[in-house]
Structure 1
Amino acid sequence: MITVSQLFIYPIKSLAGIPLNISEVVKGGFKYDRVLMISEPDGTFITARQFPELLKLKTAIVNNSIVVSTLNNESIAIQFDEFIETNEPTEVWGNHFTSHIAPIRLNQFFSHILQKNVQLRWIGTNLTRRTKRYPQTPVSFADGYPYLLLNEASFNHLQQRCSEKLDIQQFRSNIIIQGALPFAEDGWKTIKIGDVIFDIVKPCSRCVLTTFNINTAKPLANNEPLNTLRHFRTDEQGEIDFGMNMIARNVGSISIDDPVEIIERQPAKKYIKSFPENNQFNHKQCNITFENNTIKGNQQQTILEQLEQHNITIPYSCRVGICGKCAVVLKEGKVNPLTQSAIKRNHHILACSCIPEGDINIELIKKPQ
């Protein structure tokens, strides 16, 4: 029998999650799930992709308030009735909608942690954000869809192939199931859990956030688990998938040990298989040369990661090959792109999505001030 083994909510986008025994399905996702988000003053979202230290901030639900705690035992309680009533422009991955801005005391708390001016935002009770493919479906501050399902057997299959110790919470799923075969979820279209029917929209494309240890906020070696996943979960567009995005047809509740009923199936998405020989990754060293400087690099991590390890900063935003801010010019050598969009015209490549195949010479692009 396929059943629910774990449930999680993430009250503030990119902060630590909360395990639950039962969760309420409401409009926009699980109750309290990603109803708050840290943003730039102009409303552009901020995540642990840029500030991995956010992963170390703990959250709790106390008397309808969300309490945030730091490793230094500092804490702050967030009351929803404190937020400004006006609807302010907000953006998540190009999706534009409105939200409510927190009072100064809350904004100062997070600005102090991140050492930059930021705002805390609440999605509000009247959700104005909609999923791109299902305009009738409201969604909170989640990346794209209200629910993310993960199969324990699929995770265990990944762990067997991966050289680094993984934690299933790295994938920030809401619903984790057990009892299914590895990647059986690829062929599901509609499922029922408890009294709620879910439609599986698409496989979830994974990004650099999955490579961070959730306790230390430090990146795992070798760009794992993306480095392993790309060998058997890369689609024809170069996206790396793991887990399934879902929407709910109705409200209700689901609990640990609830059975998962497969109502309708569909053909599974096809992936490009390119397993490395003996399932071992290339650990050879290489040189990365730029502006008459050379650093010792490797053939496991992205160029951006390796530059950062040598205290060399270049502009970036998304770290997943979307914004294009980390582009450099490849003058000599070859790179292994993690996505198709990582290779641009005129020898431009994205440092966040390219791994050296050997010695390379790059030119850092000077950005206008």
Structure 2
Amino acid sequence: MRVASLHIHPVKSGRAVDLAQATLLPAGLEGDRRWMIVDEAGRFLTQREEPRLALLEAVPGEAGLTLRAPGLAPLMLPYPTGQAEHIIAHIWRSKAAARVAEGASAWLSGWLGRPLRLVWLPNGANRPLNTAFAKGPGGVGFADGYPVLITNTASLADLNRRLDAPAPMNRFRANIVISSDTPWGEDGWSRLRIGETELELVKPCDRCVVVTTDQMTGGRLQGDHPAHEPLRMLQRVRKSAEPRVKGALFGWNAVPVTPGLIRVGDPVEILARRPEPWPIRPAV
């Protein structure tokens, strides 16, 4: 097994940035989901509510972030300093003390047609992990719950053979895509060594409407039959049988154990396996 591709999402729910190499920090890949769009109440906005976020390009640099969206001039934003406005940003039931990026509100609000702000989370100001599945000092930034998401090319191939039209991997918004010959083999992985790093796989990822969103156009797939779109098919063949995790599963959430550099093409070694693979309900 090898690393097939690496990706960060500088703005939560924005378009992915593909990388040839990435630094794994205790809270995830460097630059991944450190920025987030929030409404007037500080609540996070994602593609679940606003699929047009798939069209938002965000390129991080040494001085800050450059945003691009259809019909708008690019916007360069410096990293907010300690003097910037601070707010409490809400992600599900979790909160984070974030800094507001000056100059982004009018740009985003005009594009999406509602009052919005962009906030930034400095390295080290992370949210705690969900201790039901993982422990560790690194915490997590603005990702939904865990620092790293890992997917398997063989699992996508198995899903796609059931669909009328294949789904690209970018629908699943992974950080590390592993090339493998074993569909759903990740259900039995516990710890991996990738390049200089080690990661612990702690929880399968239960999926939502985002996997029906075309990441190049922002359009949603429609269809009543499971073969018409990936979420319906996953709900048919990949429902968790473990009561703590509900929903349709694809990919695994992981926590860094040993930080370091990861490169596309790096070998992937299974250091530990689960006593039993994660249980899946029989297909309906």
| Fold shared by both chains (TM-score > 0.5) | yes
Q: Which runs of 5+ in 1 are unaligned?
A: 276-369
Greater mean deviation of Cα atoms: 84-93 or 242-251: 84-93
Partner residue in 2 for 1:233:
238
Alignment of 1:201-240 (within 5 A): 201-222=202-223, 224-236=229-241, 237=243, 238-240=246-248
Does structure 2 retain, via aligned residues, the 8 Å contact 1:65–1:80? yes
Q: Give the 5 Å matches for 1:139-158.
A: 139-158=140-159
Number of equivalences = 273
Q: What residue in structure 1 maps to residue 188 of structure 2?
A: 187
In the alignment, residue 205 of structure 2 is paired with which amino acid? C
Instruction: Give the distance between the partners of 1:152 and 1:68, measured in 2 at CA.
Output: 30
Residue matched to 1:3:
2
Residue 210 of structure 1: SS of its match in structure 2?
A: helix
Query: Which aligned pairs between 1:212-361 and structure 2 lie closer than 5 A?
Result: 212-222=213-223, 224-236=229-241, 237=243, 238-266=246-274, 267-275=276-284
Per-residue deviation at 1:87?
Answer: 4.0
**Is the partner of 2:18 in helix, strand or coil?**
strand
Q: Distance in 1 between matches of 2:154 and 2:86?
A: 43
2:256 partner letter: A
SS at match of 1:141: coil
- With over 3 angstroms needed to count, the CA separation of the structure-2 counterparts of 1:84 and 1:213, relative to structure 1, is farther
Cα deviation code 1:291-349 (max 9, x no counterpart): xxxxxxxxxxxxxxxxxxxxxxxxxxxxxxxxxxxxxxxxxxxxxxxxxxxxxxxxxxx
When residues 163 and 83 of structure 1 are mapped into structure 2, their CA distance, relative to the original with a 3 A threshold, is: farther
Letter in 2 for 1:268: P
Question: Do the aligned partners of residues 151 and 132 (structure 1) sit closer, same or farther apart at CA in structure 2, a change above 3 Å counting?
Answer: same
Q: Secondary structure at the residue paired with 2:281?
A: coil
Partner of 1:48: 47
Structure 2 residue matching 1:231: 3-state secondary structure: helix
Query: Does the C-alpha gap of structure 1 residues 207 and 83 become closer, same or farther in structure 2, counting only changes over 3 Å?
Result: farther
- Contact 1:83–1:102 (CA<8 Å) still a contact in 2? no
Corresponding position: 1:60 with 2:68: no
Check 1:68–1:39 CA distance in 2 against 1; reply closer, same or farther (3 A cut). same
Q: Deviations over 1:209-261 (max 9, x none)?
A: 11111111111122721111112100234411100000001321100010001
The answer to whether the Cα contact below 8 Å between 2:80 and 2:100 also exists between their aligned partners in 1 is no
> Which amino acid in the other structure matches residue 265 of structure 2?
D
Instruction: Give me the CA root mean square deviation.
Output: 1.6
User: What is the alpha-carbon distance in structure 1 between the residues aligned to residue 136 and residue 270 of structure 2?
Assistant: 25
Which stretches in structure 2 are left out of the alignment for 5+ residues? none
| TM-score between both structures, scaled by the size of structure 2 | 0.91
Structure 1 residue aligned with 2:124: 126
Deviation of residue 83 (structure 1)? 6.9
Alpha-carbon distance between aligned partners in 2 of 1:8 and 1:263, rounded to the nearest angstrom = 23
Q: How many angstroms does 1:7 deviate by?
A: 0.3
Instruction: State percent identity of aligned pairs.
Output: 28
Q: How does 1:36-185 map to 2 (within 5 A)?
A: 36-72=35-71, 74-81=73-80, 84-85=83-84, 87-103=86-102, 105-133=103-131, 134=135, 136-185=137-186
Using CA pairs below 8 Å that are at least 6 residues apart, which structure has the higher relative contact order?
2
What TM-score do the two structures reach when normalised by structure 1?
0.71
Q: Identify if the C-alpha distance between structure 1 residues 84 and 212 changes in structure 2 by more than 3 Å, giving closer, same or farther.
A: farther
